[in-house]
Structure 1
Amino acid sequence: MRIAIAGAGGIGGVVGGMLSKSGYDITLVDQWHEHLEKIKKDGLIVKTRDGEHLSKPKVIHISELQNQEIAFDMIFIAVKSYDTEWVSMMMKNYIEKNEGFFVNFQNGVNDERMANIVGAKRSLGCIITIGAAAYEPGIAIRTDNNSPAFKIAEQDGSTTIRAKKLVEIMNFVGKTELSNDLWGERWSKLITNCMANALAGLSGYGTAEVRTELYPRKIGIQLGSEVAKVAKALGHNIYSVGGVSPEALIDAADGKNVEELENSLAESGKRAGSLGYPSFAQDVKKGRRNEIDFLNGYVSKMGKKVGIETPFNDKIVEIIKGLGINFNSDKKHLEPLIKMLNI
């Protein structure tokens, strides 16, 4: 069985490294030349809270793909949301023609965008609940011990042999479960992404600090409650992710049981420690394009579609768009959102 992972950053690196170490035939496809050369020379190191793991996956720079006569049984799409279409189109030429399939390993709700290119029948989704990063060539870092780490789902909610097989494979990376509700799981994860990612990028706070610090926590509750309301209006089931209850978010945003939820979020932040930064914050640090249009911006867009107001998500999008791509994180960027709290 041959597996390609398009995108060898934090998530792609952790998944690819651990699967390669477990004996799977893994090929990492990326455009980060130094990273690929380091892996080719010395192997890929995956750092976790349990230790370091060295593996020797194959690597291909995207410029070398045209010279390859290969067909993969599975292709994992683990690139930034804004790269979904062109990477899916590129990798489509390298899938095994009969039973091969793609798996979406992204934040946001990009499954249909991928499926529109590779075909819905060839598309599965993977909901990621772990944190990961790649700060230097040849190293990928998993920043937590979240469990379950992954959830696998077919787009139509069916239970298939290939989905079960993928669960079996991904258990070598972290505890993996099968879900029958891809869209509910996606929107549930979107709640946690929208509560933390852009806030961390704006302020410089880490994954834990956006929950332990007062103002980011309060803003996050408002952001998350808006996502939950939009998801419900769209008809999706929503679930607790990372200890965050959607119903509790909605109640707290309306002034009910606020202290209880804040204490819960603060405690979960303390347990998480300070190892990681959301991918959005990593992009800001590197001066790269961010995913605001596919996270909070997507919520604002869908909110307008179903008639749900999303003032906090609208405002955070406005702030980030106003700053442009290459800005420095600073707590002062949160001031317009803090004013909206009226405290």
Structure 2
Amino acid sequence: MDLNDKSIIFVGTGANGSSIASDIINSGFQIKCYDQWPENVEVIRKHGFTVNTLDGEQNTKARAFHLCQLAETTSKFDIVLLALKSYDTKWACEMVMPYLADDGIIVGIQNGMTAETIASYVGIERTLGCVVELSSEMTEPGIVQRNTLQKQTWFGLGKLGNINNPHFENVKTLLNCAGTVSICKDILSAKWMKLLVNTMSLGPFALLGLPVQEGLNTPGMRELVLAIGDETMSLGNELGYNIEPIMGLSENAMKESNRLPETLLDTLVEHIGPSARDCILQDMLKGRRTEIDMINGLVVEKLSNFKRVAPYNAAVIEVGSIIAAGELSPNPENISILRKIIKRNLDKIE
């Protein structure tokens, strides 16, 4: 059956979602795009997706729907590409489940360890895990600044079990429209490798209000985020995750690295460019909930199950909470607060 005979929807047309969906549409595939932000949907309906890159502006007409319009569907979906925030995964699965075909698939194109969450709702046979390396910003409804060009965008795709999924190759074809797709033998380990990157590169630099490259020039910041990475790496070892290649790195480059967190961080910095603002910083500036709890918070929570603490990741959460409460704004001076909290946390261990 031709891929255009499949019922394909995209749920979540924020910055990354809009970038990926527009590439899929421009490759000739028919998809429906659902989003929970009414103004965003209306702009996309009138003007399409507007995606700005270093190569110029791209405008793509799209079939956009309000999320509530899922209730109007009369047929089941074969492929659901889910690009909402990681903390939205549970309710999104609840909403989509009644409209998912018996052999349909949900692909979580998200940060965090969401693949198992999706599988808990629809089963591993109807779940594909996905890792994505793509930096973008939604500057206003329907308008995206894509910092990672298509040729530099990377996806890791994998099954959660040894199950022959009829849509696997179709999903690979769709994602290939937006970047390079690698097949991950151990998708959960690959997701953890990306979480390791995100613990270092999202929350910490968002607290400073700086892009990653600029933030790394702040004295002491590189050492601080690598300590965060070491905590996350240590937890991954406890949980039994393997070293799985991501972001285009080879298996040898990953396994032969003397300090894997640093290798991953440097690779990310090379790929995203000097001015990219991460998604957590964007949410902080908009006064929205961030994914810090789903990323750094997960490390703190899981290490506590082993009767261990994560003083560096915990400090990121604490400063993030102060910003969320409106008592601080993202600012380079926040590194001094971060250091004080880390020192306090380390003193408690001693």
TM range (shorter): 0.7 to 0.9
Q: Distance between the aligned counterparts of 1:195 and 1:241, measured in 2?
A: 15
Structure 1, gaps ≥5 residues long: 253-260
Q: Distance between the aligned counterparts of 1:308 and 1:245, measured in 2?
A: 26
Partner of 2:317: 317
Map 1:91-240 → 2, pairs under 5 A: 91-95=96-100, 97-145=101-149, 147=152, 149-156=154-161, 160-239=165-244
Partner of 2:285: 285
Shift of 1:265: 5.6
Instruction: Identify which of 68, 72, 81 aligns with 2:73.
Output: 68
Map 1:3-42 → 2, pairs under 5 A: 3-42=8-47
Shift of 1:70: 3.5
- Higher mean alpha-carbon deviation, 129-138 vs 281-290, is at 129-138
Residues 216-249 of structure 1: CA deviation (Å, up to 9, x unaligned): 2221101111111100111111246557958544
Q: Distance between the aligned counterparts of 2:40 and 2:91, measured in 1?
A: 21
Q: TM-score, normalised by structure 2?
A: 0.85
Shift of 1:109: 0.5
Q: Distance between the aligned counterparts of 1:67 and 1:182, measured in 2?
A: 34
Contact 1:191/1:227 (<8 A) preserved? yes
Shift of 1:63: 2.6
Judged with a 3 Å threshold, the aligned counterparts in structure 2 of structure 1 residues 164 and 197 are, in CA distance, closer, same or farther, namely same
Partner of 1:257: none
Q: Distance between the aligned counterparts of 1:189 and 1:270, measured in 2?
A: 15
Q: Distance between the aligned counterparts of 1:82 and 1:225, measured in 2?
A: 24
Q: Distance between the aligned counterparts of 1:214 and 1:2, measured in 2?
A: 51
Shift of 1:289: 0.7
SS state at 2:110 partner: coil
Contact 1:155/1:182 (<8 A) preserved? yes
Residues 169-191 of structure 1: CA deviation (Å, up to 9, x unaligned): 21111011111111110110011
Contact 2:208/2:215 (<8 A) preserved? no
Residues 132-169 of structure 1: CA deviation (Å, up to 9, x unaligned): 22121222332124746101111126574532332122
Q: TM-score, normalised by structure 1?
A: 0.87
Shift of 1:52: 2.8
Q: Distance between the aligned counterparts of 1:166 and 1:271, measured in 2?
A: 24
- Higher mean alpha-carbon deviation, 141-150 vs 9-18, is at 141-150
RMSD: 2.6
- Higher mean alpha-carbon deviation, 186-195 vs 153-162, is at 153-162
Q: Distance between the aligned counterparts of 1:48 and 1:139, measured in 2?
A: 11
Identity, in percent, stands at: 27
Judged with a 3 Å threshold, the aligned counterparts in structure 2 of structure 1 residues 323 and 138 are, in CA distance, closer, same or farther, namely closer
- Higher mean alpha-carbon deviation, 15-24 vs 237-246, is at 237-246
Judged with a 3 Å threshold, the aligned counterparts in structure 2 of structure 1 residues 157 and 181 are, in CA distance, closer, same or farther, namely farther
